[in-house]
Amino acid sequence: MSGTHPQRKAEVRALARLAGDELGGAVDGIGAVHRAISDRVFAAVRLGVGPAAQPVKLVHDAITDGVYRAVSAAAVAAGTVAEHTADVPGVALSRTVFGSGLLAALQGLIGDTLADQRPILAGPMTFRCAGAPIAAEQVAAGLTRPSGHIVVFLHGLAETEHAWHLGGGPSYAERLDTDMGCSALQIRYNSGLRIHDNAAQLSELMQRLVDHWPVPVERISLVGHSMGGLIVRGACFEASEAGRTWVRAVRKVVCLGSPHLGAPLEQVVHHGSSLLGLLPETRPFGRLLRRRSAGIRDLRRGSVLEDAEAADIPLLEGVDHYFVTASITRSPRNPLGRVLGDGLVLTPSGAGRNRSRRIGFEESNGLHLPGANHFTLLNHEAVYAALRDWLGASEAARADSTG
């Protein structure tokens, strides 16, 4: 407990300061909306009473601006005081289910800003066990029997490795570890960073893992949910281009609800933020939307490369790629299902093909889950059955050949 206390203290203080700054910024935004509305009202009044309205407006503006400045300054000051006084004993927030979920939500929204300004709340990409970070070089030491088959799971936007337990029961990683005897590992990362940045971190992390694995690595399987699938594809591409040795062992890649062609919600927010900026009354809301993280913005087109407008990267040669999609309707062809998909990702995007773009997945390597939402894919019996069949296919073939 005492060993994790300094980490918790730093996290709580950083959160307190962040809360104060964000509240102060929110007050400034409200003040901007108030000023825009009052300017429009006084402009209308001047049409009726003429210059006589100007003194009233000056007094009104002086009073309201002063009030908003005072409240904003007080909020920021309160955050500063809390930052220097907060001292809550206990385990680090980042190691608890609730605390890590809170941090993951913040990272998803403004993770790139946190990485620059409050790195204690951003955190590096790491392997995790029971919420605790584990260095890539030490992962195998915590396993009873390291396997030559490594399966790595990556969560999605604003999630942590705890998301794989959604709905209760054991996670895919825990079940595969038992049923297949593989070494199933889970990673946590800052989903607010650019996808290509996280992909580069994953590639470097995997190289360190393989370099220190105590038994020969026969094959690697990568499973990503939502954004995690894009990061997996990016890491494989980066490693292949850089000649990293770990990628030579990759045999299977599985993307669960990944927006390979973009996510409609981010597309709506992208255009909405521009429209909100047209009027002074709504401009603060437009600025708020534009603050969304670089990771979220990459989801508009499913951008894996640094150049968001660049062509799609090819799938890794010699590797089996699988995908799982879902729709909230019983059929993806239902008009409502076509518009909403799984609630966040449309079926064509999850399958990586539409009229203008094709990622390269084979249709026979896909599974569709009807009457399900985006987060159902994190823990569902049908998805697990598919994972077990897909990831165990090589083992079954090898057993047949030796039998």
* Predicted local distance difference test score (pLDDT) of residue 3: 43
Here the contacts of 344-348 (C-beta below 8 Å, separation 24 or greater) are 344/226, 344/257, 344/259, 344/263, 344/264, 344/265, 344/374, 345/226, 345/257, 345/258, 345/259, 345/263, 345/374, 346/261, 346/264, 348/261
Provide the edge-to-edge strand list for the sheet that holds 132-134. Answer: 132-134, 126-129, 183-188, 149-154, 219-225, 250-256, 320-327, 366-370
Sign, CA dihedral 87-93-96-99, equals positive
Residue boundaries of the structural domains of the chain: 5-92, 124-265+295-402
Output 396 or 217, whichever has higher pLDDT: 217
pLDDT digits (tens, 9 = 90+) for 21-46: 655 555 455 555 555 665 665 566 56
- Between CA 143 and CA 130 the distance in angstroms is 13
Q: Give the DSSP per-residue string, 71-137.
A: HHHHHHHHHHHHHHH----SS-GGGSHHHHHHHHHHHHHHHHHHHHH-GGGT---EEEETTEEE-GG
* Strands 366-370, 320-327: pairing kind: parallel
Distance of CA 389 to CAs 218, 343, 350, 383, 397, Å? Answer: 18, 27, 20, 10, 11
Distance of CA 241 to CAs 195, 236, 311, 358, 385, Å? Answer: 17, 9, 16, 21, 33
pLDDT digits (tens, 9 = 90+) for 197-239: 999 999 999 999 999 999 999 999 999 999 999 999 999 999 9
pLDDT (mean) for 382-387: 98
Output 96 or 125, whichever has higher pLDDT: 125
- Between CA 257 and CA 376 the distance in angstroms is 10
Output 26 or 375, whichever has higher pLDDT: 375
Residue pair 226/259 in contact (Cβ under 8 Å)? The answer is: yes
Query: Residue 273 — very low, low, confident or very high, per pLDDT cuts 50/70/90?
Result: low
CA 206 from centroid of its chain's CA atoms: 19
- Between CA 87 and CA 83 the distance in angstroms is 9
Output 147 or 274, whichever has higher pLDDT: 147
Q: Which amino acid is at 379?
A: N
Output 365 or 15, whichever has higher pLDDT: 365
Number of other residues whose CB lies within 10 A of the CB of residue 73: 12
In this model, does residue 2 exceed pLDDT 80?
A: no
* Predicted local distance difference test score (pLDDT) of residue 22: 55
124-265+295-402: CATH, from 3.40.50.280, 3.40.50.1820, 3.40.50.620, 2.30.110.10? 3.40.50.1820
* Predicted local distance difference test score (pLDDT) of residue 271: 67
What are the structure tokens assigned to 295, written together?
A: 């990771």
* Predicted local distance difference test score (pLDDT) of residue 63: 58
In this model, does residue 78 exceed pLDDT 70?
A: no
Closest CA to 207 of 176, 168, 249, 175: 249
Residue pair 368/325 in contact (Cβ under 8 Å)? The answer is: yes
Output 64 or 372, whichever has higher pLDDT: 372
Among the ranges 51-55, 187-191, 395-399, which has the highest mean pLDDT value?
A: 187-191
Lowest-confidence pick of 49-58, 264-273, 340-349: 49-58
Lowest-confidence pick of 6-15, 100-109, 346-355, 386-395: 6-15
**Residues 6 or more apart from 96 whose CB is under 8 A from it?**
131
CA dihedral 181, 162, 376, 232 (to 10 degrees): -70
Q: Give the DSSP per-residue string, 137-176.
A: GGTGGGSSS--SEEEEEE--TT--GGGGGTTSS--HHHHH
In this model, does residue 287 exceed pLDDT 90?
A: no
* Predicted local distance difference test score (pLDDT) of residue 341: 92
Output 159 or 306, whichever has higher pLDDT: 159
**Residues 6 or more apart from 271 whose CB is under 8 A from it?**
none
Q: For residue 174, list its beta bridge partners.
A: none
Closest CA to 254 of 390, 160, 143: 390
pLDDT (mean) for 308-328: 90
Residue pair 275/291 in contact (Cβ under 8 Å)? The answer is: no
Q: Residue 243 region, left (φ>0) first, then alpha (ψ -120 to 50), else beta?
A: left
Portion of the chain with pLDDT greater than 90, in percent: 54
Q: For residue 368, list its beta bridge partners.
A: 325
What are the structure tokens assigned to 365, written together?
A: 């390597």
In this model, does residue 6 exceed pLDDT 60?
A: yes
- Average pLDDT in the chain: 83
Portion of the chain with pLDDT greater than 70, in percent: 73
In this model, does residue 171 exceed pLDDT 70?
A: yes
